[in-house]
Structure 1
Amino acid sequence: MEHIIRDFLLTSEMLSKEGLTYSYTGNMGRKRGERLFITRTGSNLLNLSKEDIISIPLKGKSILDERASSELRVYRAILNEFPYSSLLHVHAPYTLCVSFKRKEITPLDSEGKEALGSVPVLSLRSPSASEELSEALKESFKSHRIAVIRGHGVFCLENSLYRAYELVSLLENSCKILWRCEDGKG
Protein backbone atom coordinates (compact mmCIF):
# COMPACT_ATOMS: atom_id res chain seq x y z
CA MET A 1 0.00 0.00 0.00
CA GLU A 2 2.91 2.35 0.63
CA HIS A 3 3.74 2.46 -3.11
CA ILE A 4 0.14 3.54 -3.81
CA ILE A 5 0.43 6.42 -1.33
CA ARG A 6 3.75 7.43 -2.92
CA ASP A 7 2.09 7.42 -6.36
CA PHE A 8 -0.63 9.78 -5.09
CA LEU A 9 1.79 12.13 -3.35
CA LEU A 10 4.36 12.30 -6.16
CA THR A 11 1.63 12.85 -8.75
CA SER A 12 0.07 15.59 -6.63
CA GLU A 13 3.45 17.28 -6.23
CA MET A 14 4.10 17.27 -9.98
CA LEU A 15 0.58 18.50 -10.82
CA SER A 16 1.13 21.38 -8.40
CA LYS A 17 4.56 22.28 -9.76
CA GLU A 18 3.20 22.50 -13.29
CA GLY A 19 0.05 24.43 -12.41
CA LEU A 20 -2.21 21.63 -13.65
CA THR A 21 -4.49 21.97 -10.64
CA TYR A 22 -5.61 24.80 -8.41
CA SER A 23 -7.39 25.19 -5.10
CA TYR A 24 -9.67 22.21 -4.38
CA THR A 25 -10.09 21.02 -7.97
CA GLY A 26 -9.20 17.65 -9.42
CA ASN A 27 -9.08 14.17 -7.98
CA MET A 28 -7.26 10.87 -8.28
CA GLY A 29 -8.10 7.22 -7.84
CA ARG A 30 -6.28 3.92 -8.05
CA LYS A 31 -7.55 0.38 -7.67
CA ARG A 32 -5.77 -2.51 -6.05
CA GLY A 33 -7.62 -5.80 -5.94
CA GLU A 34 -11.15 -5.09 -4.73
CA ARG A 35 -10.22 -1.74 -3.16
CA LEU A 36 -10.37 1.78 -4.56
CA PHE A 37 -7.98 4.36 -3.16
CA ILE A 38 -9.37 7.80 -3.94
CA THR A 39 -8.86 11.39 -2.85
CA ARG A 40 -11.43 12.49 -0.35
CA THR A 41 -13.89 15.26 -1.12
CA GLY A 42 -12.42 18.67 -0.40
CA SER A 43 -8.83 17.51 -0.54
CA ASN A 44 -6.38 19.94 -2.07
CA LEU A 45 -4.06 18.44 -4.67
CA LEU A 46 -1.68 21.35 -4.09
CA ASN A 47 -1.02 20.09 -0.59
CA LEU A 48 -2.13 16.45 -0.57
CA SER A 49 -1.34 14.27 2.44
CA LYS A 50 -1.82 10.57 3.03
CA GLU A 51 -4.82 11.41 5.22
CA ASP A 52 -6.51 12.76 2.04
CA ILE A 53 -6.52 9.28 0.47
CA ILE A 54 -9.29 6.94 1.53
CA SER A 55 -9.82 3.26 0.81
CA ILE A 56 -13.28 2.01 -0.11
CA PRO A 57 -14.68 -1.02 -1.93
CA LEU A 58 -14.28 -0.84 -5.70
CA LYS A 59 -17.77 -2.32 -6.07
CA GLY A 60 -20.80 -1.78 -3.87
CA LYS A 61 -21.34 0.88 -1.25
CA SER A 62 -19.50 1.94 1.87
CA ILE A 63 -20.23 4.30 4.73
CA LEU A 64 -17.08 6.16 3.61
CA ASP A 65 -18.52 6.89 0.14
CA GLU A 66 -19.71 10.33 1.28
CA ARG A 67 -16.11 11.23 2.17
CA ALA A 68 -14.80 10.30 -1.29
CA SER A 69 -14.39 12.66 -4.22
CA SER A 70 -17.62 13.85 -5.81
CA GLU A 71 -16.52 11.96 -8.94
CA LEU A 72 -16.69 8.60 -7.09
CA ARG A 73 -19.37 7.16 -9.41
CA VAL A 74 -17.10 7.92 -12.40
CA TYR A 75 -14.08 6.26 -10.78
CA ARG A 76 -16.02 3.11 -9.95
CA ALA A 77 -17.60 2.92 -13.40
CA ILE A 78 -14.29 3.35 -15.25
CA LEU A 79 -11.96 1.33 -13.02
CA ASN A 80 -14.43 -1.57 -12.91
CA GLU A 81 -14.71 -1.56 -16.71
CA PHE A 82 -11.07 -1.30 -17.84
CA PRO A 83 -7.87 -3.20 -16.98
CA TYR A 84 -5.97 -0.01 -16.10
CA SER A 85 -5.48 0.72 -12.40
CA SER A 86 -5.46 4.53 -12.21
CA LEU A 87 -7.68 7.44 -13.18
CA LEU A 88 -6.65 11.08 -12.88
CA HIS A 89 -8.86 14.14 -13.31
CA VAL A 90 -7.60 17.74 -13.36
CA HIS A 91 -8.71 21.11 -14.67
CA ALA A 92 -5.61 22.00 -16.71
CA PRO A 93 -6.11 25.63 -17.82
CA TYR A 94 -4.82 25.63 -21.41
CA THR A 95 -6.50 22.31 -22.13
CA LEU A 96 -9.77 23.79 -20.86
CA CYS A 97 -9.33 26.87 -23.07
CA VAL A 98 -8.67 24.78 -26.17
CA SER A 99 -11.64 22.50 -25.33
CA PHE A 100 -14.08 25.35 -25.97
CA LYS A 101 -12.97 25.61 -29.61
CA ARG A 102 -12.56 21.97 -30.71
CA LYS A 103 -14.26 18.60 -30.90
CA GLU A 104 -10.84 16.97 -30.66
CA ILE A 105 -7.37 18.18 -29.84
CA THR A 106 -4.62 17.27 -32.27
CA PRO A 107 -1.23 18.51 -31.08
CA LEU A 108 0.99 20.48 -33.43
CA ASP A 109 4.19 19.46 -31.63
CA SER A 110 5.87 16.18 -32.50
CA GLU A 111 6.00 14.89 -28.90
CA GLY A 112 2.30 15.50 -28.35
CA LYS A 113 1.36 14.03 -31.73
CA GLU A 114 3.40 10.89 -31.16
CA ALA A 115 2.29 10.21 -27.59
CA LEU A 116 -1.32 11.37 -27.77
CA GLY A 117 -2.46 11.31 -31.38
CA SER A 118 -5.86 12.99 -31.28
CA VAL A 119 -7.62 13.56 -27.98
CA PRO A 120 -11.43 13.64 -27.99
CA VAL A 121 -13.29 16.60 -26.51
CA LEU A 122 -16.64 15.51 -25.13
CA SER A 123 -19.48 17.98 -24.78
CA LEU A 124 -21.95 16.92 -22.07
CA ARG A 125 -25.07 18.40 -20.49
CA SER A 126 -23.94 17.10 -17.07
CA PRO A 127 -20.15 17.26 -17.24
CA SER A 128 -19.38 16.57 -13.59
CA ALA A 129 -20.01 13.53 -11.35
CA SER A 130 -22.84 12.23 -13.55
CA GLU A 131 -23.97 8.99 -15.15
CA GLU A 132 -23.68 10.82 -18.49
CA LEU A 133 -20.00 11.52 -17.78
CA SER A 134 -19.37 7.89 -16.77
CA GLU A 135 -20.96 6.56 -19.97
CA ALA A 136 -19.19 9.07 -22.22
CA LEU A 137 -15.81 8.22 -20.70
CA LYS A 138 -16.46 4.48 -20.98
CA GLU A 139 -17.09 4.91 -24.69
CA SER A 140 -14.10 7.22 -25.22
CA PHE A 141 -11.70 5.00 -23.25
CA LYS A 142 -12.41 2.13 -25.64
CA SER A 143 -10.10 3.86 -28.13
CA HIS A 144 -8.22 6.54 -26.11
CA ARG A 145 -6.68 6.68 -22.64
CA ILE A 146 -7.19 10.42 -22.28
CA ALA A 147 -10.27 12.57 -22.88
CA VAL A 148 -11.24 16.17 -22.29
CA ILE A 149 -14.66 17.20 -21.04
CA ARG A 150 -15.45 20.60 -22.55
CA GLY A 151 -15.33 23.22 -19.83
CA HIS A 152 -14.72 20.66 -17.07
CA GLY A 153 -11.30 19.05 -17.41
CA VAL A 154 -9.12 16.14 -18.41
CA PHE A 155 -9.54 12.48 -17.45
CA CYS A 156 -6.65 10.08 -18.04
CA LEU A 157 -6.71 6.31 -17.56
CA GLU A 158 -3.36 4.61 -16.98
CA ASN A 159 -1.54 1.98 -14.92
CA SER A 160 -0.19 4.54 -12.46
CA LEU A 161 -1.23 8.01 -11.44
CA TYR A 162 2.24 9.27 -12.28
CA ARG A 163 1.99 7.94 -15.85
CA ALA A 164 -1.44 9.59 -16.15
CA TYR A 165 0.13 12.85 -14.94
CA GLU A 166 2.82 12.55 -17.64
CA LEU A 167 0.17 12.30 -20.37
CA VAL A 168 -1.91 15.14 -18.92
CA SER A 169 1.25 17.28 -18.72
CA LEU A 170 2.06 16.49 -22.33
CA LEU A 171 -1.48 17.40 -23.39
CA GLU A 172 -1.36 20.67 -21.45
CA ASN A 173 1.96 21.60 -23.11
CA SER A 174 0.51 20.75 -26.54
CA CYS A 175 -2.50 22.93 -25.75
CA LYS A 176 -0.21 25.84 -24.77
CA ILE A 177 1.47 25.52 -28.16
CA LEU A 178 -1.88 25.32 -29.97
CA TRP A 179 -3.25 28.31 -28.09
CA ARG A 180 -0.20 30.45 -28.77
CA CYS A 181 0.28 29.43 -32.41
CA GLU A 182 -3.31 29.44 -33.60
CA ASP A 183 -4.68 32.25 -31.51
CA GLY A 184 -1.70 34.61 -31.75
CA LYS A 185 -1.25 34.82 -27.98
CA GLY A 186 2.50 34.42 -27.91
Structure 2
Amino acid sequence: MIGAGGATPPATVKVWDPFVRIFHWSLVSCFVIAYATGDEIERVHVAAGYVIAGLLAARIVWGFVGPRHARFSSFVRPPRVALAYVRDVVMLRAPRYVGHNPAGGAMIVALLIALAGTCATGYVMTTDAYWGSKLIEHVHEFLANLTVGLVVAHVIGVLIMSFEHRENLVASMISGRKRAAD
Protein backbone atom coordinates (compact mmCIF):
# COMPACT_ATOMS: atom_id res chain seq x y z
CA MET A 1 0.00 0.00 0.00
CA ILE A 2 1.39 3.42 -0.98
CA GLY A 3 0.54 6.44 1.18
CA ALA A 4 0.45 10.15 0.39
CA GLY A 5 3.42 11.43 -1.58
CA GLY A 6 4.37 7.90 -2.67
CA ALA A 7 5.60 6.95 0.82
CA THR A 8 4.94 3.45 2.10
CA PRO A 9 3.17 3.57 5.47
CA PRO A 10 4.96 1.78 8.31
CA ALA A 11 4.13 -1.86 8.91
CA THR A 12 1.75 -2.51 11.77
CA VAL A 13 1.18 -5.44 14.09
CA LYS A 14 -1.92 -6.54 15.94
CA VAL A 15 -1.40 -5.76 19.62
CA TRP A 16 -4.74 -5.23 21.36
CA ASP A 17 -7.23 -8.03 20.86
CA PRO A 18 -10.97 -7.26 20.55
CA PHE A 19 -11.66 -8.21 24.18
CA VAL A 20 -9.07 -5.76 25.54
CA ARG A 21 -10.36 -2.95 23.32
CA ILE A 22 -14.03 -3.56 24.12
CA PHE A 23 -13.17 -3.90 27.82
CA HIS A 24 -11.22 -0.64 27.78
CA TRP A 25 -13.87 1.50 26.11
CA SER A 26 -16.74 -0.16 28.01
CA LEU A 27 -14.93 0.52 31.27
CA VAL A 28 -14.37 4.15 30.28
CA SER A 29 -18.06 4.56 29.43
CA CYS A 30 -19.36 2.83 32.55
CA PHE A 31 -17.02 4.72 34.86
CA VAL A 32 -18.08 8.06 33.37
CA ILE A 33 -21.73 7.06 33.81
CA ALA A 34 -21.21 5.85 37.39
CA TYR A 35 -19.20 8.91 38.37
CA ALA A 36 -21.63 11.33 36.72
CA THR A 37 -24.72 9.79 38.27
CA GLY A 38 -23.35 9.31 41.81
CA ASP A 39 -26.11 10.01 44.31
CA GLU A 40 -28.31 11.69 41.71
CA ILE A 41 -29.55 8.67 39.73
CA GLU A 42 -28.92 5.77 42.08
CA ARG A 43 -30.32 2.99 39.85
CA VAL A 44 -28.04 3.97 36.95
CA HIS A 45 -25.09 4.43 39.33
CA VAL A 46 -25.55 0.98 40.86
CA ALA A 47 -26.10 -0.70 37.49
CA ALA A 48 -22.95 0.89 36.07
CA GLY A 49 -21.05 -0.25 39.18
CA TYR A 50 -22.15 -3.85 38.69
CA VAL A 51 -21.17 -3.73 35.01
CA ILE A 52 -17.75 -2.36 36.04
CA ALA A 53 -17.35 -5.20 38.56
CA GLY A 54 -18.19 -7.73 35.85
CA LEU A 55 -15.78 -6.12 33.43
CA LEU A 56 -13.02 -6.19 36.04
CA ALA A 57 -13.61 -9.87 36.80
CA ALA A 58 -13.49 -10.72 33.09
CA ARG A 59 -10.32 -8.64 32.57
CA ILE A 60 -8.57 -10.30 35.48
CA VAL A 61 -9.31 -13.73 34.02
CA TRP A 62 -8.21 -12.47 30.58
CA GLY A 63 -4.97 -11.26 32.19
CA PHE A 64 -4.07 -14.91 32.77
CA VAL A 65 -5.56 -16.66 29.73
CA GLY A 66 -5.69 -13.99 27.02
CA PRO A 67 -3.21 -13.41 24.22
CA ARG A 68 0.37 -12.26 24.84
CA HIS A 69 -0.12 -8.49 25.21
CA ALA A 70 -3.22 -8.95 27.39
CA ARG A 71 -1.44 -11.16 29.93
CA PHE A 72 -0.24 -9.64 33.17
CA SER A 73 2.99 -11.60 32.81
CA SER A 74 3.84 -9.52 29.72
CA PHE A 75 3.55 -6.10 31.38
CA VAL A 76 3.52 -6.24 35.19
CA ARG A 77 7.01 -5.36 36.38
CA PRO A 78 8.52 -4.57 39.79
CA PRO A 79 7.98 -0.99 41.04
CA ARG A 80 11.68 -0.14 40.59
CA VAL A 81 11.42 -1.00 36.88
CA ALA A 82 8.30 1.17 36.46
CA LEU A 83 9.97 4.08 38.30
CA ALA A 84 13.12 3.73 36.19
CA TYR A 85 10.93 3.85 33.09
CA VAL A 86 9.22 7.05 34.33
CA ARG A 87 12.69 8.54 34.87
CA ASP A 88 13.61 7.62 31.30
CA VAL A 89 10.38 9.23 30.04
CA VAL A 90 11.28 12.48 31.80
CA MET A 91 14.76 12.33 30.26
CA LEU A 92 13.18 11.69 26.80
CA ARG A 93 15.00 8.39 26.41
CA ALA A 94 12.31 5.84 27.26
CA PRO A 95 12.37 2.80 25.00
CA ARG A 96 9.27 2.05 22.95
CA TYR A 97 7.26 -1.06 23.75
CA VAL A 98 4.87 -2.71 21.31
CA GLY A 99 2.67 -3.72 24.27
CA HIS A 100 2.37 -1.90 27.59
CA ASN A 101 5.51 -0.25 28.92
CA PRO A 102 6.42 -0.77 32.62
CA ALA A 103 4.73 2.48 33.71
CA GLY A 104 1.60 1.56 31.75
CA GLY A 105 1.60 -1.85 33.42
CA ALA A 106 1.81 -0.23 36.85
CA MET A 107 -1.05 2.07 35.90
CA ILE A 108 -3.22 -0.87 34.85
CA VAL A 109 -2.61 -2.59 38.19
CA ALA A 110 -3.36 0.64 40.09
CA LEU A 111 -6.57 1.22 38.12
CA LEU A 112 -7.75 -2.37 38.60
CA ILE A 113 -7.15 -2.14 42.35
CA ALA A 114 -8.79 1.27 42.72
CA LEU A 115 -11.80 0.22 40.65
CA ALA A 116 -12.15 -3.10 42.47
CA GLY A 117 -12.05 -1.25 45.80
CA THR A 118 -14.64 1.22 44.54
CA CYS A 119 -16.92 -1.63 43.44
CA ALA A 120 -16.42 -3.55 46.69
CA THR A 121 -17.20 -0.56 48.89
CA GLY A 122 -20.18 0.32 46.70
CA TYR A 123 -21.55 -3.18 47.14
CA VAL A 124 -20.83 -3.24 50.89
CA MET A 125 -22.86 -0.02 51.29
CA THR A 126 -25.93 -1.94 50.09
CA THR A 127 -25.65 -4.63 52.78
CA ASP A 128 -27.55 -4.52 56.07
CA ALA A 129 -24.32 -4.43 58.06
CA TYR A 130 -23.00 -1.25 56.39
CA TRP A 131 -26.18 0.46 55.15
CA GLY A 132 -25.73 4.17 55.89
CA SER A 133 -22.11 3.78 57.06
CA LYS A 134 -20.42 7.13 56.57
CA LEU A 135 -16.97 5.53 56.82
CA ILE A 136 -17.65 3.12 53.94
CA GLU A 137 -19.27 5.94 51.95
CA HIS A 138 -16.17 8.12 52.44
CA VAL A 139 -13.85 5.27 51.42
CA HIS A 140 -16.03 4.63 48.34
CA GLU A 141 -15.89 8.30 47.35
CA PHE A 142 -12.14 8.48 48.03
CA LEU A 143 -11.49 5.47 45.80
CA ALA A 144 -13.72 6.87 43.04
CA ASN A 145 -11.85 10.19 43.18
CA LEU A 146 -8.51 8.37 43.32
CA THR A 147 -9.60 6.55 40.16
CA VAL A 148 -10.30 9.88 38.48
CA GLY A 149 -6.79 11.01 39.40
CA LEU A 150 -5.32 7.79 38.03
CA VAL A 151 -7.33 8.21 34.81
CA VAL A 152 -5.97 11.75 34.40
CA ALA A 153 -2.42 10.45 34.95
CA HIS A 154 -3.10 7.61 32.49
CA VAL A 155 -4.33 10.01 29.79
CA ILE A 156 -1.33 12.30 30.34
CA GLY A 157 0.99 9.28 30.09
CA VAL A 158 -0.67 8.16 26.86
CA LEU A 159 -0.31 11.65 25.39
CA ILE A 160 3.34 11.91 26.45
CA MET A 161 4.21 8.50 25.03
CA SER A 162 2.26 9.22 21.83
CA PHE A 163 4.34 12.38 21.40
CA GLU A 164 7.66 10.85 22.45
CA HIS A 165 7.32 7.80 20.18
CA ARG A 166 5.38 9.55 17.42
CA GLU A 167 2.44 7.17 17.38
CA ASN A 168 -1.23 7.59 18.17
CA LEU A 169 -1.85 5.28 21.12
CA VAL A 170 -5.54 6.20 21.31
CA ALA A 171 -5.98 5.08 17.69
CA SER A 172 -4.20 1.82 18.50
CA MET A 173 -6.70 1.13 21.29
CA ILE A 174 -9.44 1.53 18.67
CA SER A 175 -7.87 -0.40 15.78
CA GLY A 176 -5.87 -2.87 17.87
CA ARG A 177 -2.78 -2.19 15.74
CA LYS A 178 0.50 -0.41 16.42
CA ARG A 179 3.57 0.33 14.38
CA ALA A 180 5.81 -2.72 14.18
CA ALA A 181 8.95 -2.77 16.34
CA ASP A 182 11.53 -0.15 15.43
TM-score (norm 1): 0.29
Structure 1 or 2, whichever has the larger Rg, is 2
The higher-RCO structure (CA 8 Å, 6+ apart) is 2
User: Larger % of helix: which?
Assistant: 2
Q: Indicate the structure with greater strand content.
A: 1
